[in-house]
Amino acid sequence: MPLMSQGHLKFTKLLFIAAIFALAGFFPFEAGASSTSSTLVRLSPANPSPGENTTISLSSYANDLDSVPISWSVSGKKVSAGVGEKSISVTAPAAGTSMDVVATISFPDGMIDVKIVIKPAAMTLLWQAVDSYTPPFYKGKALPTADSEIKVVAMPEVKVGSSMVDPAKMVYSWKKDYKNDQGASGYGKNFFTYLSDYLEDSNRVSVMASTTNNSHSSEKALTIEISQPKIIFYKNDPSLGTFWEKSISNGYRIQGNEILQAAPYFISPGDIRIPILVFNWLINDQMVSVDSLNKNLLPLSAPSGTSGAARVKLQISNTYKIFENSSKEISVNF
């Protein structure tokens, strides 16, 4: 076998060294190469509503963006430029339209364009405490208490072109306290129900509604505070009904025969006639029997020719939910 010449041997060594550098990722023409795949984009909020101020931020795990020129253009018009200009704030366009934002990054080895398309959509979240009691003519909102059933309904307003997307034909992803709920999520599932936790003061519920092709989406979150049941006393007249306009408080004077009516605001269940709600009335710490069909009514009488004061107390408990309870005590004069 013929011996290699000295020049041929040097050439073989060079090829061998080049192969090692290439395998190790150090080959000269690859050094410092930049691409859009190493540049990350963050929108805040992630799914802006029409007209909402939106911040776009860039970051990179492979390149230093603080030392390179970055210019921004919105809908083809240059709006900002500077070294390390990694973020920009824009106003989201109207529903059904889109906005093209381009960030041009000038690296030493060349320029890259990062394109961001903003497609805004509105979302409304409505919630209700399904089984929370409120008295007749109450104009406020029924509030949830411990172990209450709460229902949240999503109403997305996503516009594609000139047409609104049917909310029933969208895909919903629900989260409670930042945890995905796979069972409650899916196509057409625009509502979410859950039981409030007695260990928590509030719950955060969020949802993302997306079109089936994921071209448009809308997201919203809300925090639902947990309240305590509250008993308020009113005067009930057999002929005129309940005087809801004025509550009875400490120092109320009884005149003749009267009926005290209790309204246990926000207690569960919403129908206080259900037997699982137990009403215990006490006068001066002595249990008093009342009509089981009207357990929220307490007849009172002031004996003629006497005067004094008494403590009236009501304790309400739910036999199925130990944290659904409330009590109220007032003093009455006669």
Any residues with CB less than 8 A from the CB of 110 and at least 6 apart, and which? 34
Torsion angle of the four alpha carbons 75, 213, 52, 207, in this order, in degrees rounded to the nearest 10: -160
- The average pLDDT across 134-163 equals 91
In whole angstroms, what is the distance from residue 157 CA to residue 175 CA?
20
Strands 325-333 and 252-253, by their bridges, are: parallel
In whole angstroms, what is the distance from residue 81 CA to residue 103 CA?
9
Among candidate residues 75, 72, 68, the one with its CA nearest the CA of residue 38: 68
In whole angstroms, what is the distance from residue 200 CA to residue 209 CA?
27
Helix (H, G, I), strand (E, B) or coil at 227: coil
The pLDDT score that the predictor gives to residue 36 is 63
Q: How confident is the model at residue 67 (pLDDT cuts 50, 70, 90)?
A: very high
- The average pLDDT across 229-256 equals 92
The pLDDT score that the predictor gives to residue 34 is 46
Any residues with CB less than 8 A from the CB of 210 and at least 6 apart, and which? 170, 171, 173, 216, 217, 218
Q: Which residue has the tokens 């929220």?
A: 296
The pLDDT score that the predictor gives to residue 248 is 93
In whole angstroms, what is the distance from residue 325 CA to residue 318 CA?
6
Question: pLDDT per residue over 290-315, tens digit each?
Answer: 988 899 999 998 777 778 889 999 99
Whether residue 269 is preceded by a cis peptide bond, meaning omega within 30 degrees of 0, is yes
The overall average pLDDT reported for the chain is 86
Residue 50: phi and psi, rounded to 5, are: -55, 130
pTM score, whole prediction: 0.74
In whole angstroms, what is the distance from residue 251 CA to residue 309 CA?
8
pLDDT surpassing 50 at residue 78: yes
pLDDT surpassing 80 at residue 29: no
Task: Give start and end residues of each alpha helix (H) in 25-176.
Answer: none
Specify whether the CB–CB gap between 61 and 125 falls below 8 A.
Answer: no
